[in-house]
Amino acid sequence: MIRYSITKPELEAAVERAKRGWLKKAALKTEAFRNAGDFNEPDSKNSWSDIKSAFIQLQKNKCAYCERQLGHDRRSRIEHDVEHFRPKNAVRRWPAEGSKQKYRFTTGDASEKGYYLLSYNIFNYTTACKTCNSTLKSNFFPVYGSRLTNTDDFTALKAEQHLLIYPLGDVDADPESLITFQGVLPVPKVKSGEKYRRARVTIGLFELDTREDLNRQRAGIILALWTAHRFLQTPGISDEDRTDAQRIFDLAISAGSAHANCARTFVKLCQQDAAKAREFKELAAQIVLNA
Ligand SMILES: [Zn+2]
């Protein structure tokens, strides 16, 4: 995961460009839910899809959570789901009953109502792939503190100590300050405390460390980066070859590229500990060969 920086006025402007008048209607709907005490809108009236394009553009066509590139053209918009970070309806307890995932810390109780006041809050949206959104995140929202479903005040909501990481704007921690990589494998950046818990749960819930397609894609990126790194070390390399190798680095670490967090971590490692980078390259090669 990486952060996609944007301010509130910038996101509001992007949303209004996608659908003029959307914010005003969203505010009216939120007040209606506040008066009713729950999210009572029929599916046919849901209008968050109207502003999907603003989020697809901000996230550079990538899933907010697994960093896969999804389709770019209009027809491919179906691949991107508008995801409610805090569920608008009932929240289930996570890990679900029977899950193999076990945690030594509390991950919150279920809630019947869910975060009904955030159903039309733009800083409660991301776009995500169907595996991350529908299959894995579903209506889970693990928290370390007490769940607070009756407020849309983000300052108050901090008391929940939510465990998943929200990657848009600066309303949450930078995902790269919590999750790093050992080769293709995402791992918590620190070994204990809040940052550890949040990284562990985000990796665990989205299965970022066990999904074969993600590991294979990251392995391909690591092989390309190692090759470019070695190329740049070669004595007498031509200016043209140097430029091409540098382009591979620049492209891989840019926010618009798939698995940028993994690529950025590996590029740093190539420079700081080439022997370790070589080990990870070998493991990546095995993943690619065994695919
Ligand atoms: Zn995803």
Q: How confident is the model at residue 101 (pLDDT cuts 50, 70, 90)?
A: confident
Distance (Å) from CA 214 to ligand 1 centroid? 9
Q: Say if residues 260 and 254 touch (Cβ distance below 8 Å).
A: yes
Pairing of β 125-128 and β 81-84: antiparallel
Residues 6+ positions from 219 with CB-CB distance below 8 Å: 184, 283, 284, 285, 287, 288
Q: What number is the average pLDDT over the span 275-287?
A: 97
Residue 51 DSSP label: G
Q: What number is the average pLDDT over the span 283-288?
A: 96
For 183-273, where are the alpha helices, taking DSSP H only? Answer: 193-205, 212-233, 239-253, 260-272
Distance (Å) from CA 240 to ligand 1 centroid? 36
Q: Say if residues 232 and 242 touch (Cβ distance below 8 Å).
A: yes
Average pLDDT, the chain: 96
Distance (Å) from CA 45 to ligand 1 centroid? 26
Query: pTM for the full model?
Result: 0.96
Distance (Å) from CA 131 to ligand 1 centroid? 6
Residues β-bridged to residue 162: 143
The backbone torsions φ and ψ at residue 255, rounded to the nearest 5 degrees and listed phi first, read: -60, -25
Distance (Å) from CA 5 to ligand 1 centroid? 19
Q: What number is the average pLDDT over the span 1-9?
A: 97
C-alpha distance across the termini of the chain, in Å: 24
* Distance between CA atoms of residues 177 and 196, nearest Å: 10
Distance (Å) from CA 64 to ligand 1 centroid? 7
Distance (Å) from CA 208 to ligand 1 centroid? 9
* Distance between CA atoms of residues 155 and 145, nearest Å: 14
Q: What number is the average pLDDT over the span 82-98?
A: 94
Distance (Å) from CA 232 to ligand 1 centroid? 33
* Distance between CA atoms of residues 251 and 256, nearest Å: 8
For residue 97, the model assigns a pLDDT of: 86
Residues 6+ positions from 71 with CB-CB distance below 8 Å: 61, 77, 78, 79, 80
Distance (Å) from CA 132 to ligand 1 centroid? 4
pLDDT at 290 over 90: no
Distance (Å) from CA 236 to ligand 1 centroid? 42
pLDDT at 248 over 90: yes
Distance (Å) from CA 2 to ligand 1 centroid? 13
Distance (Å) from CA 144 to ligand 1 centroid? 23
Note the pLDDT tens digit of each residue in 129-167: 999 999 999 999 999 999 999 999 999 999 999 999 999
Which among 70, 85, 112 has a CA at the least distance from the CA of 205?
Answer: 85
For residue 100, the model assigns a pLDDT of: 87
pLDDT at 63 over 90: yes
Q: What number is the average pLDDT over the span 180-197?
A: 97
Task: Show the tokens assigned to 190.
Answer: 């620190």
* Distance between CA atoms of residues 31 and 218, nearest Å: 44
For residue 291, the model assigns a pLDDT of: 74
**Cis-peptide into 95, omega within 30 deg:** yes
23-151-91 Cα angle (round to 5): 95
* Distance between CA atoms of residues 86 and 117, nearest Å: 10
Residue 92 DSSP label: B
Distance (Å) from CA 239 to ligand 1 centroid? 38
Distance (Å) from CA 129 to ligand 1 centroid? 4
* Distance between CA atoms of residues 32 and 270, nearest Å: 55
Distance (Å) from CA 276 to ligand 1 centroid? 28
191-126-268 Cα angle (round to 5): 40
- The share of the chain scoring above pLDDT 90, in percent, equals 94
Distance (Å) from CA 233 to ligand 1 centroid? 35
* Distance between CA atoms of residues 238 and 220, nearest Å: 25
pLDDT at 98 over 90: no
Q: Determine how many CB atoms are found less than 10 A away from the CB of residue 201.
A: 25
Distance (Å) from CA 268 to ligand 1 centroid? 25
